[in-house]
Amino acid sequence: MRQFSTALQTVLDSGEIEYTFLIKLSFNSNYYITSNSYDVVYGGNTYLADSGLFNVDSPKNSTVVDRESYTIMVADLLDEMLAEFKINVVGKSVEVYLAFKDASGNLLLTEGDVIKVYKGTVDKPSISNDFEDKIATLEGTSPMSDLDLVRSFITSKDGMDQKSDTDTSFDEVYSGNEITVKWGKV
């Protein structure tokens, strides 16, 4: 069970929960974005309020193994995301945190107070431009995205030599070797 700090537990027990997103995009350059109305310093990094954060998926808690993706949308006013997408951001790291506000409206920013709600990699970046808004959409992979991954493995001496020259476990596997197997009762 997840343990929360006393300050965070007090906020959660109050029933009136206010939070802000802190998003770290580790692309070719690092981007620190917040949904807060002012810049936030957390973990030695300054998360910028005027970074164009447009929309963030709400945190989801699932009791089953699924392949849900996580979407972040950023207004790309200065073509920074477009430039990053051209260089390639697929497989680059994305981290999303929630920082909560106490009863006085102050952000709780100690390590035990900020919750990581998503960590993954970019799977499908896209830019949409309707001549009024240019939005960069980052779809992150879920931790279970590799469930449908298929990797072939050739069961032959040559196939094993591609993995290890010293492994001799497949030396006797070769074409033309026939085996008769009797099924059922003998």
pLDDT tens by residue, 104-116: 888 999 888 999 9
Domain assignment present for 158: no
Domain assignment present for 173: no
pLDDT per residue rounded down to tens, the chain (186 residues): 677 888 888 888 888 889 999 999 999 999 999 999 999 999 999 999 988 888 888 766 666 666 667 889 999 878 899 999 999 999 899 999 999 998 888 899 988 899 998 888 898 899 998 877 889 999 887 655 556 566 666 667 677 777 777 887 777 766 556 667 777 765
Note whether 106 and 28 are within 8 A (CB): no
Q: Which domain holds residue 73?
A: 6-146
Domain assignment present for 163: no
Rg (CA), the chain: 25
Q: 160 is written with which tokens?
A: 């094993």
Domain assignment present for 16: yes
Distance CA 168, CA 3 (A): 49
Domain assignment present for 170: no
Domain assignment present for 162: no
Domain assignment present for 126: yes
| Number of C-beta neighbours around residue 38 at 10 A | 11
Task: List the beta bridge partners of residue 121.
Answer: 93
Distance CA 148, CA 40 (A): 39
Domain assignment present for 152: no
Identify the pLDDT of residue 120. Answer: 85
Distance CA 25, CA 92 (A): 8
What sign does the CA torsion over 176, 165, 153, 159 have? negative
Residue 89, Ramachandran bin (φ over 0: left; ψ between -120 and 50: alpha; else beta): alpha
Q: How many domains does the chain have?
A: 1
Residues 6+ apart with CB under 8 A from 45: 24, 30, 32
Burial of 16 (0-12, 13-18, 19+ CB in 10 A): exposed
3-state secondary structure (DSSP) of residue 7: helix
